[in-house]
Amino acid sequence: MPQAISNAQDIELEEASDQAFCPHCFLLVEAGVEQPWPPAPTRCRHCRLLIGPGRGRQSADANPGARGTAAGVFAHRAKHSEAGEEASPDRVREAIRSVAERRGARPERLLMVDYQQTALEDESLPPLGDVFTAFGSWKRARKEAAVG
């Protein structure tokens, strides 16, 4: 039996939210949706984990460390991806700087999940796999982008 909404603020919040975030990686999965979302099991396009009916989140707010779990999934997939043309280290450094500036962060503090989300939305940025190909790790890529 569905839970009753406890007060007017909850009703307002439920009606106002039209975005659906993955409960695993906390990245935006769909916009313009009705809550509760999804109506049927759906696979997250970012972390590839299954989102159960009604289990989508209405915001990207996460507990400390939760986004790090998603970063591990992205790193593993990026390291083992079969990419076509690879981006040069200079292009990767510039992309990290660009995303960091857009997000209001220093390059050495940019989160991998924030880069991944931005790269999915902006096709001019090298994919995460190219970052790992160029530098071997996200930590090294951020460090290189910060000093160069």
| Contact (Cβ atoms closer than 8 angstroms) between residue 62 and residue 70 | no
pLDDT, averaged in runs of 10, over the chain (148 residues): 40 58 84 91 86 87 59 62 73 96 95 88 90 90 91
Q: Where are the domains of the chain?
A: 8-51, 66-147
First to last CA, the chain: 57
| Contact (Cβ atoms closer than 8 angstroms) between residue 92 and residue 130 | yes
Identify the pLDDT of residue 6: 40
Global confidence as pTM: 0.56
Identify the pLDDT of residue 107: 96
Identify the pLDDT of residue 41: 94
Q: Which tokens is 39 given?
A: 């109506």
| Contact (Cβ atoms closer than 8 angstroms) between residue 54 and residue 14 | no
Residue 113 vs residues 3, 67, 108: alpha-carbon distances, Å: 33, 7, 14
